[in-house]
Structure 1
Amino acid sequence: MNRTQLIDAVTTATGRSKADVAAIIGATLETVTAAVAAGDKVTVPGFGSFERRFRKAGTAPNPRGGDPLPVAAKHVPAFKAGAAFKQAVSGA
């Protein structure tokens, strides 16, 4: 499902206009992105949590020859699924 399909699905489920749903989804994603980028954890009970994690510097193999290449330390986004989401996906 892409963004357009998500907007269509939420429009159908809520009866709201596409413009309203697109604005709400856009604002939600921007807010979550800004909060995680700032180092905050965003938790949606039953769905999951988004957070920023630190990945240490290290090495990775060069695909062209296997020689080790340095990889810089960086922050990466992470998502941990909530119990209800895990249950829905597993079919339990």
Structure 2
Amino acid sequence: MTTILWILFCLCMTFVYMLSVQAATENKFRLKTGAKGDICLKCHEPFREKLKARFVHTPVKIGECSGCHNPHTSPEGKLLDEVSTR
């Protein structure tokens, strides 16, 4: 019985670890939860007016700027994560 409990415990701990790794990956820049694009607008306040335009880049509209831009550092222009093909 002790062996079965130990196996279940190990499986549970593995599952919890995998969830924490996934959560850390999804917020790879360790941004404050719920901040999303609002954190970008702290420094880029004039950009707020562009968000009122009829057509806005979808990731920007939903506040997912960090999906393509690294807010800390990047060797690419405009702090993009990858080289732009456009």
- Note whether the superposition's TM-score is higher than 0.5: no
Query: Could you say which structure has the higher helix fraction?
Result: 2
Structure 1 length normalisation: TM-score? 0.28
Counting strand residues as a fraction of each chain, which structure ranks higher?
A: 1
Relative to the length of structure 2, the TM-score reads 0.30
